[in-house]
């Protein structure tokens, strides 16, 4: 039995009638009141989601120069004064490079089915090329993969989570098309070493952030901001090509023998019109989505950039006196090669924004091309990150958008979570609230809207280096005591909530009475399972 905490009837006090177009206010869990007599509904006999959690190499591993590891762009960025809050860096981080047993132990405590982590490119290839293979680095990932499998936890590996080898950045990095071939070589090596045991792969994490945040705004490595109208589009173009080449490599050389799944992870907020009655706000919300998720999803899932992006950037480029569009063009052969390079839709999501039109004049910049400003509703709950407001309804909305826009692909949510700041408090009620509400929206999308969601991944397993905000913003289910030389992992209260959701495979129907999955300890290890399986407690899988 796959259960969803769904109330069949809702009353929304501040909406007097249905809005046209459909607005976020129609499904706003924070303010809606449950109508009396509307029970929680359990929906039975549905395929289950695989539950997991995630980290990234630079954020947790430490060992920045251990055993022959080379330098990455994040090593350089974090060691540059004033780039990271309080000059924090990942030199030690959570010391996961030396704590495989401890990390696997807390994963067992969570009862996850899969664990998403990334490979440090420079730990296995110190200069980014196959000229020298660092066997000590591969030994770490070999041992981690084997330890996970020994506990029946499926490894879900990201090849690139932002830590490009500095040696490649020195010759242009992602602006240089030769990096596409270097990435393909790197992927080939990792597939050959780990693919016999690893069946779930992500080529590149959040290409939007790599292109725009790292090469447009410049507030992440490599910290480039002086060509915001062209460089992000060039970098994004090469990231798409790199992903496609790695996918084809796996498809042609490894799939028949290894039988795994390879895709890219794309991130996006959901966007609603600030005023749902104004067409210009509706159009602005659509542009925000097309310039965010659509920038990378459209070429991979539909073929080529969207007409929205191509038309707007070309017209604004020509109006500024340029001879061609600032958005690079794919050749017909490249469009064909890129389209369809996915086995699932990897998706990271955190929050929602409200959009309105904003004219940047002749500014040749991504923001000017998008032509939209964004705000948030002041009543939305805050988090420890200024950009992250708690908006569960947006996740269901954007999952349905993906279903409609990109041909109903299988979706694995590869990140979703919430942060805190300030004094350490293990009673992280806000995180428990966040996961309960967001996961409920995922299950609604899956069970009520028939969105093909196969996996959910909480970000993050443990508090870690949150990029340019350092250790100040904490997304972890586990607190990491970095003042202790042993950097112990300590469970927050949200661990109990999330592990119970995993154990119950959703939310048990309260009308059926207390379910065994709610009991603590070994006697509570029975999953809320499909009766057709005989009630056997078998781990869920995303590969069916």
pLDDT for position 509: 85
Residue 487, sorted as left (phi over 0), alpha (psi -120 to 50) or beta, turns out to be left
Residue spans of the domains in the chain: they are 42-508
3-state secondary structure at position 72: strand
Q: Which residues pair with 453 in a beta bridge?
A: 411
pLDDT for position 20: 30
Rounded Cα–Cα distance for residues 250 and 421 (Å): 41
Rounded Cα–Cα distance for residues 123 and 48 (Å): 36
Rounded Cα–Cα distance for residues 154 and 142 (Å): 14
Closest Cα partner for 84 from 59, 62, 109? 59
CB of 239 within 8 A of CB of 174?
A: yes
Cβ count near 410 (within 10 Å): 18
Per residue in 247-283, pLDDT tens? 999 999 999 999 999 999 999 999 999 999 999 999 9
From the candidates 175, 245, 272, 415, give the one annotated as an active-site residue.
Answer: 415
Rounded Cα–Cα distance for residues 172 and 464 (Å): 29
pLDDT for position 289: 98
CB of 392 within 8 A of CB of 404?
A: no
Q: What is the mean pLDDT of each run of 10 residues along the chain (544 residues)?
A: 39 26 41 33 51 98 98 98 98 98 98 98 98 98 98 98 98 98 99 98 98 98 97 98 99 98 98 98 98 98 98 98 98 98 98 98 97 98 98 98 98 98 98 98 96 98 98 98 97 98 91 84 44 34 30
pLDDT for position 510: 83
CATH of 42-508, one of 3.55.50.30, 3.20.20.80, 3.90.950.20, 3.40.50.720: 3.20.20.80
Rounded Cα–Cα distance for residues 457 and 539 (Å): 15
CA dist list (Å): 378 to 159, 236, 273, 389: 38, 33, 15, 9
CB of 280 within 8 A of CB of 357?
A: yes
Closest Cα partner for 505 from 541, 475, 544? 541
Q: Is 415 known to be catalytic?
A: yes
Q: What is the dihedral of CA 142, 147, 150, 155, to 10 degrees?
A: -70
3-state secondary structure at position 33: strand
pLDDT for position 397: 98
CB of 123 within 8 A of CB of 57?
A: yes
Closest Cα partner for 41 from 448, 433, 439? 448
């Amino acid at each position: 039995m796959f259960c969803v905490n769904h109330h069949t009837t809702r009353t929304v006090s501040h909406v007097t009638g249905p809005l046209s177009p459909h607005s976020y206010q129609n499904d706003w869990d924070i303010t809606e009141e449950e109508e009396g007599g509307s029970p929680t509904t359990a929906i039975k006999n549905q395929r289950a989601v695989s539950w997991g959690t995630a980290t990234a190499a630079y954020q947790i591993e430490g060992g920045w120069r251990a055993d022959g590891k080379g330098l990455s762009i994040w090593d350089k960025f974090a060691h540059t004064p004033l780039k990271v809050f309080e000059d924090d860096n990942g030199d030690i981080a959570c010391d996961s490079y030396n704590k495989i047993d401890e990390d696997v132990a807390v994963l067992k405590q969570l009862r996850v089915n899969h664990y998403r982590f990334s490979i440090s490119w420079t730990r296995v290839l110190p200069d980014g090329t196959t000229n020298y293979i660092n066997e000590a680095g591969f030994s770490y990932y070999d041992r981690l993969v084997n330890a996970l499998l020994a506990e029946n936890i499926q490894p879900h590996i990201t090849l690139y989570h932002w830590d490009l080898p500095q040696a490649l950045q020195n010759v242009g990095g992602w602006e240089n098309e030769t990096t596409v071939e270097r990435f393909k070589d790197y992927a080939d090596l990792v597939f050959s070493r780990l693919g016999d045991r690893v069946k779930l792969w992500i080529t590149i994490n959040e290409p939007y952030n790599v292109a725009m945040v790292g090469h447009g705004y410049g507030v992440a490595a490599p910290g480039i901001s002086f060509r915001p109208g062209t460089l992000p589009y060039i970098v994004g173009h090469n990231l798409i090509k790199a992903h496609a080449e790695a996918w084809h490599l796996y498809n042609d050389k490894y799939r028949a023998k290894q039988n795994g799944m390879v895709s890219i992870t794309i991130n996006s907020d959901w966007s609603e019109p600030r005023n749902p009655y104004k067409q210009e706000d509706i159009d602005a919300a659509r542009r925000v989505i097309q310039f965010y998720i659509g920038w990378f999803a459209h070429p991979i899932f539909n073929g080529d950039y969207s007409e929205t992006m191509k038309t707007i950037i070309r017209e604004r480029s020509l109006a500024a006196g340029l001879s061609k569009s600032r958005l690079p063009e794919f050749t017909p052969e490249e469009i064909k090669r890129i389209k369809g390079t996915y086995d699932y839709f990897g998706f990271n999501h955190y929050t929602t924004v409200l959009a309105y039109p904003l004219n940047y004049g002749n500014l040749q910049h991504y923001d000017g091309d998008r032509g939209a400003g964004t705000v948030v509703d002041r009543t939305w709950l805050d988090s420890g990150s200024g950009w992250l407001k708690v908006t569960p309804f947006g996740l269901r909305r954007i999952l349905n958008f993906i279903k409609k826009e990109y041909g109903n692909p299988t979706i694995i949510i590869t990140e979703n979570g919430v942060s805190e700041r300030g004094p350490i408090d293990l009673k992280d009620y806000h995180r428990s609230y966040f996961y309960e509400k967001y996961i409920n929206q995922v299950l609604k999308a899956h069970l009520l809207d028939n969105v093909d969601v196969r996996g959910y991944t909480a970000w993050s397993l443990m508090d870690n280096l949150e990029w340019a905000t350092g250790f100040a913003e904490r997304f972890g289910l586990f607190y990491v005591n970095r003042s202790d030389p042993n950097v112990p992992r300590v469970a927050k209260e949200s661990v109990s909530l999330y592990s119970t959701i995993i154990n119950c495979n959703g939310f048990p129907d309260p009308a059926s009475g207390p379910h065994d999955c709610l009991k603590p300890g070994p006697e509570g290890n029975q999953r809320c399972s499909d009766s057709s399986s005989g009630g056997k407690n078998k781990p869920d899988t995303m590969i069916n």
